Structure 1
Amino acid sequence: LDFYGGHAVISIGHSHPEYVRAISQQVEKIGFYSNSVLNRLQSEVAERLGEASGYSDYRLFLCNSGAEANENALKLASFHTNKKRAVAFSGAFHGRTSGAVAVTDNPAIQSPFNGKHEVIFVPLNDIDAVARQLEKGDVAAVIIEGIQGVAGILVPQDEFLIQLERLCKKYGAVFILDEIQSGYGRTGKFFAHQHAGIRPDIITTAKGMGNGFPIG
């Protein structure tokens, strides 16, 4: 028995018949193609994901993993704002690739190479600490998990998320919600942040999205 769900990856069970059928049928036709070329499957995924999540008016970028999704989210935020500093939270885990690990609060998995990123960690649910950073005017993005998984299932307070969204809008920082572990209906809503009634600028997801198949 797998009570761990493959590190929050397995959403419908190992070797679920529908999963096996869908993957088998697709690889018989085409297993991979560059995302620089639009195809029917991408449009279908975007439409169905929008319907399921309640976000019909959005843009989808497909990649290979949650870490890659967070990398691209941070990069988009930096391009959009022309700034390079990020705010993340104590206990955060956003991945192990260069940018994603820089906003991960775990020095044990950060190398000297990752030190080039400008990231400040503040306590979860401390809105005053966030405000002090955003007031400086040089923050490209604030990134937060819908629920902190690795840190021990720590849930951001609804009021904190509401105020966080407000501050990001006020100071022009991109609000990134990492729903890689907490998304896909695991909390009673499609995304955990929807309990607070907020709408972030960027949502990243993976894990439960593919049930083990690499996607983000």
Structure 2
Amino acid sequence: MSLFNVYPLFDITPVSAKDVYVYDDKGVEYLDLYGGHAVISIGHSHPKYVSAITHQVEKLGFYSNAIQNPLQTELADKLEVLSGCKDYQLFLCNSGAEANENALKLASFHNEKHKILAFKNSFHGRTSAAVAATDNPKVVAPLNAQQEVDFVELGNLDAVENILKENNTCAVIIECIQGVGGLDQSTTEFYQGLDKLCKQYNTALIADEVQSGFGRTGD
């Protein structure tokens, strides 16, 4: 069986990593500014990280959410302190696309609307509604294109309001710092105005910080 051809592959085969460096099968050292799609930004092979995972897998590698899991509660408590988000609930999942997919679904359940507003050059994942809200026709299949998504220029509050006043947009989804789109960002005034408009028109505001969050861009 061959591997599904998802990406063009670089001729690099990593075999080990330590701290901020990755080493390939030829012994070449690379400074890792990529972090494997930004998911290993804590660095590689840190002793505490290795010890914690080893210790847990030795006891119990996995079980479902149908049972009590004190580790999840402990994580939620720590994230509350770090983020200051005391009135939020934590939903744990496996990927950024899955997080965005569920956020969009919850938004639609909440306000019973069906359209999405996203921004040009956005990337929110490669699954159903998440990829429909991604501004890249090359990765949007006809099945995904059935989702109703409006795209506007990042920073254009007038365009946002013109769409929201139609009262059928369940969510505005935005990367405050666009990742795949080229590290574009808008102004503080725009983000504050966007929040105000979403509240005014009963529309959920989803901040997709899968690539930019968890301390990657500072405080």
Q: TM-score, normalised by structure 2?
A: 0.84
- Choose 1 or 2 for highest CA Rg: 2
> 2:178 matched to which residue of 1?
148
Q: What is the deviation of 1:38?
A: 3.4
Question: How well do the aligned residues superpose, as a CA RMSD in angstroms?
Answer: 1.0
Q: 1:8 and 2:38 equivalent?
A: yes
What letter matches 1:29 in structure 2? K
Residue in structure 2 matching 1:94, options 124, 127, 133: 124
Deviations 1:76-113 (CA, angstroms, capped at 9, x unpaired): 00000111101000000000011110100000001111
> 1:67 matched to which residue of 2?
97
> 2:55 matched to which residue of 1?
25
Distance 2:86 2:48 in 1: 25
Distance 2:165 2:123 in 1: 25
Aligned ranges 1:65-144 → 2 under 5 Å = 65-144=95-174
- 5+ residue gaps, structure 1, are 190-216
Which one has the bigger helix percentage? 1
Distance 1:55 1:180 in 2: 17
What letter matches 2:137 in structure 1? P
Q: What is the deviation of 1:143?
A: 0.3
Moved more, 114-123 or 14-23: 14-23
> 1:200 matched to which residue of 2?
none
Q: What is the deviation of 1:55?
A: 1.2
Deviations 1:22-67 (CA, angstroms, capped at 9, x unpaired): 1111111212222233320110010011111121221011111111
8 Å Cα contact 1:47/1:56 also seen in 2: no
What letter matches 1:33 in structure 2? Y
8 Å Cα contact 1:71/1:99 also seen in 2: yes
Distance 1:130 1:74 in 2: 17
Aligned length: 189
Q: What is the deviation of 1:146?
A: 2.3
Q: What is the deviation of 1:153?
A: 0.6
Where relative contact order (Cα < 8 A, 6+ residues apart) is larger, the structure is 1
Q: TM-score, normalised by structure 1?
A: 0.85
- 5+ residue gaps, structure 2, are 1-29
In the TM superposition, structure 1's runs of 4+ consecutive aligned residues that sit over 3 Å from their partners are: none
